Structure 1
């Protein structure tokens, strides 16, 4: 597996200059990081590596946030693993992978997934296997070999309206498209319905939203990151053990060796400024520091800021209060008493099969599931439903029915054990949200924000946005302390075709004149 990125056009952002480490004479700055998800861990890493004293406060008893994992005891008395569901580690997640390499230099905890088919309600199947990596040949090859996309569909596309797909520049793309929803944008460019349901809705559902509730700017930026803006390819890696074992326990050991103190199981109640100190208050005590990085989920950030009346100014506090969350999602993990067919892919995305959005066969890649399957002769299957509106028991019934439909061999299988998680804590990316989204910097230079719901004007999304904002928050504080920053990388922050960029600019001017 390639450790470094292979795209020669990727954007490299050097860290700012400064001292390599904080003084060790009792003058070390101290920072409290609230939240031990990807963003908080990236911030803690960036600070600790420059000699800053760091306390990480996390309300859960494990690290990783929404990518956390924990051990689970099953009904048969055996030990297994549980997490909040499948996550894809794409090769263009440069800043996330840089974080993981701190404890795992060769990324041995990640395993490539050879393919991830997409299957629609009519049984039509798309695949990413064997596609060329060079844009725009990758997207063109995908479209032309797709059973839901024909040459005549390509000819019918409104080239001028579709030009922003190949001419992304952040934040300009959001200024151009954020007030529109993704479904309307796809309809306006004459994108065929069948292909839209199978291909683009997969990206929309990555944000736990239906296309009509997702910003067109967000969708187009995603298309740039994975298709037309990067030559890293479309095949991703997965963690080959539960997230705690594969990723976060090793990173925790690395950070503790740097002096980072973790305080898990503690809920932050408020943040205040007392004289020269930033004070983070929990039910179990107070953490005074020189600065803080707030990296909880959206609900946690809203709650903390609402309970911290002297934090920043009213306009900023209003922006935090206005942050929304995406609709609920459900993860259903099933331990079955017999195996699924041997040719089933590790991961399959679906369209037109509500409530099901994807299926994972965990023993194909996760060590704990593979050990359980080998011992029992069964399978561990995970079913996801995004943007759900029905009660959990109805969603569960629908998910199992869809599993039987897609994988008929599971119809006769008994469920040995199961876990159903329903959560509503992912950030919302609705039309019009971008302009008001808070940035890493706050009105108080001692307080920084980080997380996948925080604005950073770079072409990043999902886990990579969390990691990028975490590194950025660390860099901002390191600059304040006179310490050197860390370099960042992203896919190119511009379309790769000069002709299409010009066409997109013309289209943008035209839309503003209407």
Structure 2
């Protein structure tokens, strides 16, 4: 590295502040070294208003992920008769849990490890109200480890200081500080520093939302800063740098680094997230008279006179009654070694079209959603748990119990095909009529709902929904081994430099169910997570499993001598995308439909937040909008300081 591009550090705080050129700012904020900054309250009510309804009101919340659960919880607390609909068999969305069998033991499986950061103020407030703080375990510290010792491991611990002291502390603690490569006398480097320390909810998007992260860092960007912080933490947002808005990354960094006085150590759950968090929220909703219906598929939404009039849903397996388009996937055909069938879709939503072109079979295993693999004899095998289906999609071998869904081909184009459910359903439809409706589904779910609206929905709103992006797919592979191993980093560790793997979690040191199993057997339970991989590189789930195993043995070489007892793969493509040019058109909480609100991590947020906190906060914002319209006291919603100090 060119010596002139290296910012020389002294270990004294004064020297660091002078080097950064922020001595004056530090002087103004000197108090923050000794007095912990308090969260900002978003839109506090000035008047003392009633907290509970004085007359009956109803609300339907569609989607029981964290956003829908938070919204339904708050409304049920205030006297609303709430009905919560969830399409899946289990609640929780991306933090859902479900039972699996490993030998003679049963465990709860999840969509991957989630860290509960201390600045998740709104999520923490729910935890405190429910009295479930004991369900979480402090992981003490958090490491980022780089492949082939490119950099020394970075270790993050709790902090109680605001900017600039948190960055000063980070620089002092970093063993790589001399390799950050940032020189604030360089105009481009100064612009970078201003952007990452001066986030503004409007100005940052106006200035940077037209660029992807990859475009923003392509020219004269401090290399060490990118390798050490930008790349691993950008991917942890589940959005790849080439598809993520640079402004969105600034928001992410402000929330997790520069505007965050809490540090980066976090909690995990003592049990699976369904048991530790989802179930307590659901139980509170039920205790307040709410209804929760799983396996509920919305089949019709009636819209007229600027309002949703009714909503219909059916319970159980319901064929897709509305045609939908999917793109051709030639990579899948090449990698499974068959050209006799055509394949469409991606991630966990793949379809095989018959040779006559009139029918298609879903390749999503009906057991746990893995993508089944076509075989030379015409069968379909699940690479995750061993289920087998015949050429017509009928179950041949468990653990799957239901056949693969079948579809009719409606239309064909060069690289697209339109499908519709092959058989109608006899499941009776249930109709709901409510004062308020909240759509709290993920992006594919929200687009599905709008495809089932009867009536002339405002064109701009329809366009906003159809323009919502989905990020690259993510994958999780959890392994059970017959022995433990030495590990000198954090129990959850971010990894950088691997083709696929972005993190490793040692579940046998975090969650009680696996700790007990490991103590009894001497084994270990390890999970690798790929946050946003490229489908061109890993077109099949067999590719994912093979690469995960290869990289695990590189990360933990001693496991090569261990016996692999079991593995579980989770692979989905449903996380919200935040691409360039998307912010201005992103839907907000309130909509032109007078009784419809939105919640979810894809909703435009008025303050910085991320991941689980973004989902929870969006649900509480939707609930607050309903409370405000009914003249009730809104819930206090918190955030880190919404603006950075060095405004861009």
Output the TM-score relative to the length of structure 1.
0.90
| Corresponding residue of 2:153 | 126
CA distance in 2, matches of 1:144, 1:200: 19
Change (3 A) 1:196 1:148: farther
- Is 1:190 paired with 2:221? yes
Corresponding residue of 2:412: none
From 298, 313, 318, the equivalent of 1:282 is 313
Determine the structure 2 residue equivalent to 1:54: 82
Contact 2:599 2:615 in 1 (8 A): yes
Match of 2:204 among 170, 173, 185: 173
> In the alignment, which of 63, 68, 75 is matched to residue 91 of structure 2?
63
Question: Given the alignment of the two structures, is residue 199 of structure 1 paired with residue 217 of structure 2, yes or no?
Answer: no
Spell out, residue by residue over 1:134-172, the C-alpha distance to the aligned partner (whole angstroms, 9 max, x if none): 222333443455454426723266213430211112132
The residue matched to 1:230 in structure 2 has which SS? Answer: coil
> Aligned-residue CA RMSD in angstroms?
2.0
Name the residue aligned to 2:136.
110
2:436–2:596: 8 Å Cα contact kept in structure 1? yes
Distance 1:278 1:90, change over 3 A: farther
- Equivalent runs, 1:393-408 vs 2, <5 Å: 393-408=542-557
Deviation at 1:216, TM superposition (A): 0.6
Q: Aligned residue for 2:247?
A: 217
CA contact (8 A) 2:304 2:456 kept: no
Aligned equivalent of 1:13, options 33, 37, 42: 42
**Preserved contact between residue 358 and residue 383 of structure 1 (Cα < 8 Å):** yes
Aligned with 1:257 (options 274, 284, 287): 287
Aligned twin of 1:366: 511
Gap change, CA 1:277 and 1:182, over 3 Å in 2 = closer
* Structure that is richer in helix per residue: 1
SS at match of 2:67: helix
Where 2:148 maps in the other structure, the secondary structure is coil
Aligned to 2:367: none
Question: Does structure 2 retain, via aligned residues, the 8 Å contact 1:169–1:459?
Answer: no
CA offsets, 1:77-109, max 9 Å, x none? 21112000011111111111122223225x221
Q: Indicate the larger mover: 392-401 or 290-299.
A: 392-401
1:100 corresponds to 2:133: no
3-state SS of 1:154 partner: coil
Could you list the per-position Cα deviations for residues 454-496 of structure 1 after superposition, in whole angstroms to 9, with x for gaps in the alignment?
111211111111111100101111122222211100000111x
Match of 1:440? 589
The change in CA–CA distance for 1:298 and 1:53 in structure 2 (over 3 A counts) is same
Aligned equivalents of 2:274, 2:607: Cα separation in 1: 29
Match for residue 480 of structure 2 among 323, 332, 335: 335
How far apart, in 2, do the equivalents of 1:177 and 1:274 lie? 39
For 1:396 and 1:140, the matched residues in 2 are separated by 41
The answer to whether 1:162 aligns with 2:188 is no
Confirm or deny: 8 A CA contact 2:63 2:439 kept in the other structure: yes
Query: Do 1:278 and 1:446's aligned partners in 2 also have CA atoms closer than 8 Å?
Result: no
Secondary structure at the residue paired with 2:130?
coil
User: Is the contact made by 1:202 and 1:351 (CA closer than 8 Å) also made in structure 2?
Assistant: yes
- TM superposition shift of 1:357: 0.6
**Structure 1 residues 315-326: aligned runs within 5 Å:** 315-326=460-471
Partner SS, residue 419 of structure 1: strand
Post-superposition Cα deviations, 1:233-289, rounded to whole Å, max 9, x if no partner, equal 111111111011111112211121111110111112232236876322112412211
CA distance in 2, matches of 1:152, 1:202: 14
Larger relative contact order, structure 1 or 2 (CA cutoff 8 Å, min sep 6) = 1
Aligned to 2:567: 418
Q: Does 1:479 align with 2:628?
A: yes
**CA–CA separation in structure 1 for the residues paired with 2:206 and 2:36:** 27
Does the aligned pair in 2 maintain the 1:117–1:125 contact within 8 Å?
no
DSSP 3-state at the match of 1:292: strand
User: Cα 1:148–1:343, aligned 2, differ >3 Å: closer, same or farther?
Assistant: closer
> 1:309, CA displacement in angstroms?
3.6
Pair 55,85 (structure 1): closer, same or farther in 2 beyond 3 Å: same
For residues 115-137 of structure 1, the C-alpha deviation after alignment (integer angstroms, 9 at most, x for no partner) is 22111122233333457542223
Verify the 8 A CA contact 1:73 1:79 in the aligned structure 2.
yes
Q: Tell me whether 467-476 or 160-169 shows the greater mean CA deviation.
A: 160-169
**TM-score, normalised via structure 2 length:** 0.72
Take 1:286 and 1:318, find their aligned partners in 2: how far apart are those partners? 27
Question: Cα 1:155–1:274, aligned 2, differ >3 Å: closer, same or farther?
Answer: closer
CA distance in 2, matches of 1:492, 1:188: 30
Q: What is the alpha-carbon distance in structure 2 between the residues aligned to residue 169 and residue 152 of structure 1?
A: 24
In the alignment, which residue of structure 2 is the partner of 1:378? 523
Runs of 5+ unmatched residues, structure 2 = 1-34, 316-429
Is the Cα–Cα contact under 8 Å of residues 304 and 455 in structure 2 kept in the other structure? no
Per the alignment, residue 440 of structure 2 pairs with 295
Corresponding residue number in structure 1 for 2:170: 142
Q: 1:350 to 1:342 in 2, by over 3 A?
A: closer
